[in-house]
Structure 1
Amino acid sequence: MKKDGTPVVPLTDLVDYQEGSIVSRAIVQKKSGTVTVFAFDEGQGLSEHTAPFDALVFVVDGEAEITLSDTVHRVNSGEMMMLPAGEPHSVRAVKPFKMLLVMVRE
Structure 2
Amino acid sequence: MKIEYFNENLDFNEKKIVTKVLLETSFSKEIRILLKQGQMMKEHKAPFPIIVHIIDGRIDFGMQGSVHPLKKGDIITLDANIPHDLTALQDSIVRLTLSKLDTSERVEKVVSDS
Return structure 1 stretches of 4+ with deviation > 4 angstroms.
none
Normalised by the length of structure 1, the TM-score is 0.82
Structure 1 unaligned blocks of 5 or more: none
Instruction: Verify: 1:39 aligned to 2:34, yes or no.
Output: yes
Alignment of 1:62 with 2:57, yes or no, is yes
**1:101 aligned to which of 85, 96, 109:** 96
* Cα gap change, 1:31 to 1:50, in 2 (>3 Å): farther
CA RMSD across the alignment = 2.1
The structure carrying a bigger helix percent of its residues is 2
Corresponding residue of 1:92: 87
SS of alignment partner, residue 52 of structure 2: strand
Per-residue Cα deviation, 1:44-90 (whole angstroms, up to 9, x for no partner) = 01110111111101101110001111210000011111121111100
SS in structure 1 at match of 2:7: helix
Normalised TM-score (structure 2): 0.77
Q: CA deviation at 1:36?
A: 0.4
Structure 1 residue 31, shift from structure 2 partner: 6.8
2:59 partner letter: A
Asked if the contact 1:68–1:83 (Cα under 8 Å) also holds between the matched residues in 2, the reply is no
Gaps of 5+ in 2: 102-114
- Structure of greater Rg: 1
- Measured in 2, the distance between the counterparts of 1:8 and 1:23 equals 17
